[in-house]
Amino acid sequence: MKKLLIRYVLGLLLLLGMLGHSAQVYRIGLIDRLDAIFYDAKLWLTMPHTIDDRVVIVDIDEKSLAEQGRWPWGRDRLALLMDKLFDRYAARLVGFDVVFAEADVSSGIKSLEYLAGGVLRGNAAFQSSLREMRPRLDYDARFAAALKKRPVILGYYLSNVAGAQASGALPAPVLPAGSLADHRTLITRWQSHGGNLALFQAAAAGGGHFNPMVDFDGISRRVPLLAEYQGAYYESLALAMARAVLGFPPVMPGYADSADDQSPLEWIELATERGSLQIPVDENVASLIPYRGVQGSFPYFSATDVLNERIDLDKLKGRIVLVGTTAPGLMDLRATPVATAYPGVEVHANLIMGMLDGAIKHKPEYLIAADALQVLLAGGMLVFLLPLLSPLKASLLGLFMLLGLGSVNLFLWHGSNMVMPFANAALLVTLLYALNMSWGYFVESRTKRQFTELFGQYVPPELVDEMAKNPEGYTMSGRKAELTVLFSDIRGFTTISEGLQPDQLATLMNEYLGAMTEVVREHRGTLDKYIGDAIMAFWGAPVADPEHAQHAVIAALEMQKALKELNRLLVTKGWPELKIGVGVNTGFMTVGDMGSPVRKAYTVMGDAVNLGSRLEGITKQYGVGIIVGEATREKLGLGFVLRELDRVRVKGKLEPVGIFEPLGVVGQVEKEVLDQIKLWELALQSYRAQNWDRAEMLLLNLTQNAPHYLYDLYVKRISHYRQEPPGTDWDGVTTFETK
């Protein structure tokens, strides 16, 4: 019970530790890492791995750089790209995962204007030509014109680099300063920005930042849909493009309880003509990226092929177009759950379609309570059940619990798009299982080894296993208990040993003692010792056995049967057959580890033990193989057939005891034997009544039908008592003066 209590306490400590993480009292880094691994595994296993051509990526790739020249390209070429996308290919929307922060002077217009204001100021022809060429050479103006009145979303970045100077223009914020201040959020805050030239941003339909949110392990799993800058709130590139597709509905924050100022922001709501679209966000106002698969989940087209009209019209018509780069030298690659180097432009594509399809996974705040609940239920059940189960059942329960938690987790993932934490509960189940299995291996197996060392040489292995389940209930210390003891001895052993060679005698004894010991152990007996050719065993300790008398008598009967089988083997070797006498007695005796500091043994002592030894010694006096004492007969009940042999007073004892020969179990003894017992009982009654004639007649009848040394013994006694009558006070007891 004490060890069970220790296991409960250790399990509860583990449970409380995991509950603290679930309740966010503290964070355990290992669990966060495992949750990230489980999230990535679920994402990988459930991604559709198909291509979605509703969004296409116009890629500034190596091919484009080789044909069109190094980046950045002239804005005239980008203006041409806009014209191609909208006029020829009829794109629905274009977004730039690129920042246009500096003016383009690659046309040489600055140099021409310098000359026009200097040495060629008075040259009318030059001035006229410059006025005519200026619209064509002002690449920025041309690009701005290509953006104007077209659904184009420009990208920009926000920064927290110390000392960074803000540059470029920003689009209007989607929420004014202070909109989220009264509610509990951990929105990302930025100190600087790098925007597009003002004329570009003014010409574009909108803009959005493309700042990723990198998790603790360096992986991009989320994008902040809103970011705070100078108190106002700006949208991401993906959100800006999704809103553009929907007609630029206003952004409205969504709260679980709008009346509670401390209620966390749980979604961003876009009210459209077709209904309200809710986009789940976490405490950072970030959304999980619903990756469709590895790179290439959206069609890629080289920018140079668009410029050169090498693409079929139906490939781009009506599509949402993202202009970005996968060229390694331009450094727009990110570590993601699906690849260690994944194009940032495709991240936006995944998020855009995830928002429009309503496929964003979410992790509302109440899942914290749900995680704590699953930890409490699963952990509490295992804490109290595992210590009570066998290793196999404990393994099955642990596996069932993991499968159950995993099934619920995947059901919520698929059915409700919820990201339920899994690592905490799974780790708790694993640790509780490991704790109990380790305890079983290191503690209980050690206890079992100790028990085996203490009792294994005496007690059958199955009893050692039974004892090891409750080691506190067993001790080697001496105690008083009612037990049954058995002694067996080979008759005429001295003569037999003299007729065999030493090696033959050793083989014979090994065969005999092995066979007899196997019988004792098979019937739950405790082997006490070998005394030369004698065997001493007892029943009822160290494992309590209410039927110790029955088991001891059955063992005695089986020893006689086993001896017959052994004798067949001995005869084939030319060795003499063996005969044994067995004495069995029941009574109170002292049992425990007894001996000297040099050597001890787990044994029994007492008058009942001595009587058992005496009963074995007088078996030859009655010509029987087994004698049991009167106390043993009383314990046996009605399940055995016994023949009363006599009442005796053995050496060292004044009180006479009845002695009996067990012949078998009721129902297994032949009718002829039962008839002989009835006749014998009549003869014994006549003998004790000193009716010598009737007793002798009955004995002679028995001898004629089934000769037995016992009958001859009593005939001789009758003859003796006729000559020397015992007297009227005779009690019918036979006294033995020797052992």
Q: What is the pLDDT of residues 598-655, one digit of tens each?
A: 777 889 999 999 999 999 999 999 999 999 999 999 999 889 999 999 999 988 778 8
- 260 pLDDT tier (thresholds 50, 70, 90): low
Mind giving me the DSSP string for 721-732?
A: HHHS---TT---
Compute the residue count for the chain: 739
As a whole number of angstroms, the distance between CA 158 and CA 185 comes to 19
- 165 pLDDT tier (thresholds 50, 70, 90): confident
Residue at token pair 């890492």: 33
CA distances from 180 to 155, 210, 222 (A): 24, 21, 20
Is residue 314 scored above 90 in pLDDT? yes
Q: What is the pLDDT of residue 299?
A: 97
In degrees rounded to 5, what are phi and psi of residue 584?
A: -130, 130
Is residue 109 scored above 90 in pLDDT? no
As a whole number of angstroms, the distance between CA 94 and CA 151 comes to 6
Buried b or exposed e, range 141-161, using 16+ CB within 10 angstroms: bbbbbbbeebbbbbbbbbbee
CA distances from 698 to 217, 324, 607, 681, 710 (A): 101, 120, 36, 10, 13
> 3-class SS at 581?
strand
> 3-class SS at 322?
strand
Q: What is the pLDDT of residues 137-158, one digit of tens each?
A: 788 999 999 999 999 999 999 9
Q: What is the pLDDT of residue 541?
A: 87
Question: In sequence order, which ranges of 358-390 are alpha helices (DSSP H)?
Answer: 366-385
Lowest mean pLDDT among 7-16, 389-398, 593-602: 593-602
> 3-class SS at 190?
strand
User: Is the peptide bond prior to 72 cis by the omega test (within 30 degrees of 0)?
Assistant: yes
The letter for the amino acid at 18 is M
Q: What is the pLDDT of residues 31-56, one digit of tens each?
A: 889 999 999 999 999 999 999 999 99
As a whole number of angstroms, the distance between CA 31 and CA 19 comes to 12
Lowest mean pLDDT among 31-45, 116-130, 372-386, 454-468: 454-468
Predicted TM-score of the model (pTM) = 0.64
Mean pLDDT of 219-235: 94
